[in-house]
Amino acid sequence: MSKTQISQELLDSIEACFQDPEIRERGFYPEFRQAWNSIFKRAQQNRTEYFDILSDSCYTVHCESTGISFDFHFDQLKIAEWYDKELKNRKKIVFTGKKLKHSRRTGELMYDNIVCQYNPDAEEPALNEKNRNIIACAMPGMPPTLHIVYGNKFVKTRFNPLRMASLGCFLIGTDYVPAFLAEPMELAVYLFMMDCCIIKENYKKVKDNDMKRLLHALRVSPMLRIKGLA
């Protein structure tokens, strides 16, 4: 049985998103809903566990957005493995180098105007001193936030406390974030929340045909195909 078996509370939250006027009133709504109903059905039927969330390599990020409250479990060892492969191939597809700014006043990390959340007390027992990368990803939100999902414990040692320092990190492309989650339902919920945020943030800015090209369910994000959910 899936450790993230879909609950009635989650089903109710998903339904509330479908009933949001900013989503429901779009011209592509029937297609959007049908696509996501199909994805969630496949995710419920797929009992695959990509890794053990009780293992040392699991890092959990709690996210609340669009009325959905959910815990996402990231496989830190898989993140490290994929990064090493890209480093050897000298071709960055999944990871993009970024610079974070550190505020001495607030202690916050920022990328442009986006807050990057991290947990300085995270133990991260699967990480070792050999691979001291700091890796973040975007989480659903309005505005979105970044979360460090690998290398929280390395953040403090990278800053010079005498100046406003910058911090180099790698950002996981949104399409590839689901590759590091624990199971199909987590993948589906992550991309669904992202789609809802995209629609709501751009409600009055982007026309229907252009919006459809931005949505993971309608352009069929790579991970939906690879994991057999689309």
Contact call for residues 216 and 224 (beta carbons, < 8 A): yes
pLDDT of 2 > 50? The answer is: no
pLDDT of 4 > 70? The answer is: no
Contact call for residues 147 and 139 (beta carbons, < 8 A): yes
pLDDT tens per residue, range 38-86: 999 999 999 899 999 999 999 999 999 999 999 999 999 999 999 999 9
pLDDT tens per residue, range 153-170: 998 777 665 555 688 899
Whole-number Å distance between alpha carbons of 168 and 99: 5
Whether the bond between 143 and the residue before it is cis, its omega within 30 degrees of 0, is: yes
Q: 142-173 burial string, b = 16+ CB within 10 Å, else e?
A: eebbbbbbbbbbbbeebeeeeeeebbebbbbe
User: Can you state the angle between helices 29-45 and 8-19, rounded to 10 degrees?
Assistant: 170
Distance of CA 31 to the CA centre of its chain: 24
What is the pLDDT, as a whole number, of residue 131? 85
What is the pLDDT, as a whole number, of residue 102? 77
Whole-number Å distance between alpha carbons of 65 and 149: 18
What is the pLDDT, as a whole number, of residue 130? 82
Q: Which of 147, 175, 150, 139 is nearest to 64 (CA)?
A: 139
Mean of all residue pLDDT scores within the chain:
91
Per-residue confidence band for 1, with pLDDT thresholds at 50, 70 and 90:
very low
Sign of CA dihedral 209, 212, 214, 219: negative
pLDDT of 194 > 80? The answer is: yes
User: In this predicted model, which residue has the larger pLDDT, 14 or 110?
Assistant: 14
Residues contacting 82, CB < 8 A, separation 6+: 94, 95, 179, 180
pLDDT tens per residue, range 114-148: 889 999 899 999 998 888 899 999 999 998 889 99
pLDDT tens per residue, range 8-31: 899 999 999 999 999 999 999 999
What is the pLDDT, as a whole number, of residue 5? 57
The token pair at 180 is 């590091």
